[in-house]
Amino acid sequence: MHNILLVEDEQKVAAFICKGLKEQGYRVNVANDGAAALRVFHTATFDLLVLDVMLPDMNGIDLCQKIRSKNSAVPILMLTALDEVQNKVAGLKAGADDYLVKPFHFTELLARLEALLRRQAVVQLNENNTLTFEDLKLDLWTSIVERAGKEINLTAKEFTLLELFMRHPNKVLSREFIAERVWNIDFDTGTNFIDVYVNYLRNKIEKGFKSKLIHTVIGMGYVLKSGSGK
C-alpha cells in the first residue's frame, strides 16, 4: 500500500482527492500549507507527493525545491489552476516529475500518480527486474512466470493482466481500470470479458495450489492478496 502526501489548502479539493485515493487503496496524509507539509514529510516516509502550487504560506514550487533538497527520489506531482507554460517549466525545474492543471478528472489524476509510481517501481526493480508476491514470480525481461518454482505459460494479455495485479497488490482493481490498462479501452458494462480473462488467469496460477491469490470483491472488482478462498 503506497503512502501519499497531499498538500492542498482548498478543503473541498483536498477532501475530494483524499476520498478518491483512499477508495483506491492508498494511504493519504493531508497538509493544508507548506509548513505543515514539511513537518509531516520529515516525520514519515512517502511514496509520492501531490503539491498544489498556490498555498497560503509559501509557493508550491518553493516547497518542491525544499523537499528535493532533502529527498531526490520521491515522485512529485504538482497541481495548479494556471495553465501557463512558465508555471509548468518552473515546477519541473524545481524538481516536479509531472504537472496537472485544475480542474481535472480524478481518473486523470489517478493515471498520472500510477504512472509515476510505476516509473519508481522500475527504478527499484532494475537489479533483477522481477515482481514477486507470495510464491508467485514474474520476470519482466524474460516474460517468465513461476509459482513455487513451477513455470506457468500465459498468453500476452494474461501476462499483462497479472503484471497489473502484481504492481497493485492488496488493492481492489475495478473492471473499468483493468480494461483501460490492459486493453486500452472503455469498459462496456454489458460484457463479461474482463471476468473471463481473470478466470483464465486464476486457473493458470491457482490450479494445483492450496492458496488462492486473485479474489473477487463483489460490486467492485478484483484484488491480488493472500488468502484461502475466492
Q: What is the pLDDT of residues 91-112, one digit of tens each?
A: 787 888 888 888 899 999 999 8
**Same fold flag, 3-124 and 130-224:** no
Please provide the CATH number assigned to the domain covering 130-224.
Answer: 1.10.10.10
Domain boundaries in the chain? 3-124, 130-224
Note the pLDDT tens digit of each residue in 37-85.
999 988 888 889 999 998 999 988 999 988 888 756 788 999 987 766 6
The model's pTM is: 0.54
Please provide the CATH number assigned to the domain covering 3-124.
Answer: 3.40.50.2300
HEC-encoded secondary structure of the chain: CCEEEEECCCHHHHHHHHHHHHHCCCEEEEECCHHHHHHHHHHCCCCEEEEECECCCCEHHHHHHHHHHHCCCCCEEEEECCCCHHHHHHHHHHCCCEEEECCCCHHHHHHHHHHHHHHHHHHHCCCCCEEEECCEEEECCCCCEEECCEEECCCHHHHHHHHHHHHCCCCCECHHHHHHHHHCCCCCCCCCHHHHHHHHHHHHHHCCCCCCCEEEECCCEEEECCCCCC
Per-residue pLDDT at 8 exceeds 90: yes
The pLDDT of residue 146 is 93
Could you tell me how far CA 67 lies from the centroid of its own chain? Answer: 21
